[in-house]
Amino acid sequence: MVAVAEPKRADARRNRARLLAAAEIVLAERGTGAPTEQIAKAAKVGIGTLFRHFPTKESLLKAVLAERMRRFAEAAGEHAEAEDPGSAFFAFLAQWVEMAAVKNAYADALAEVPRVDREVREGVLHSLGILLTRAQEAGAVRHDVGVREVIALMVGTSRAAEHLGEDAALRRRTVEIVFDGLRTRPAPGAGASR
């Protein structure tokens, strides 16, 4: 799936992969503003080759994003197979947030979900949907949240964590607050305010 006309020749395919990998790194470090030439250099490829594979910087950015999401979906899928769905759900969230806190690129990726190609987006929603549903069925997560809320919260919590920087304890405490909000309400009466 996600065919996108893979090039035939072996070296071409390899160059594409190298470019994607290099872009992943460079963009994560220098941000979207990083010059294409630097990406090409990191990939040990001529700038011309970069533009052959991705006719526009924009298109390269999108490809990197899609790649990140694919990994996100994959990771969600793996966690969905765990024994304890509740722990798996929170573990997945915690892990992703932690990664995003270090490499804000991950948060960016998730934030772009609505803008990415349908195919990729569906994959993400699907995988995460399974993980979430199981956690809810296991009674670990409140039932009035859906995948979109979870993604939004992951995006937000990543930013929050990123914002807190070095202090790991502070970061964990903050994340835990959001998690507490996601958990099944222990007692009755607490319902939404406002």
Partner DNA sequence: CATGAATGAGGCTTCATTCAT
Partner DNA sequence: CATGAATGAAGCCTCATTCAT
8 Å CB contact between 106 and 25: no
Residue whose CB is less far from DNA, 44 or 173: 44
Residues 6+ apart with CB under 8 A from 105: 24, 27, 28, 68
Strand partners, 183: 141
- Choose one: 44-52, 53-61, 123-131, 155-163; the region binding its own copies (CB under 8 A): 155-163
Cβ 101 to DNA, closest distance in Å? 26
Structure tokens at 23: 């872009």
Q: What are phi and psi of 44, to 5 degrees?
A: 55, 55
62 binds DNA (CB under 7 A): no
Alpha carbon 72 to its chain's center? 5
125 binds its own copies (CB under 8 A): no
6 binds DNA (CB under 7 A): no
Encoded one letter per residue, x for contact with its own copies by CB under 8 A and - for no contact, window 88-117 reads --x---x------------x---x--x---
- Choose one: 5-13, 17-25, 35-43, 160-168; the region binding its own copies (CB under 8 A): 160-168
Tell me which residues in 32-51 interact with its own copies (CB under 8 A).
33
8 Å CB contact between 97 and 183: no
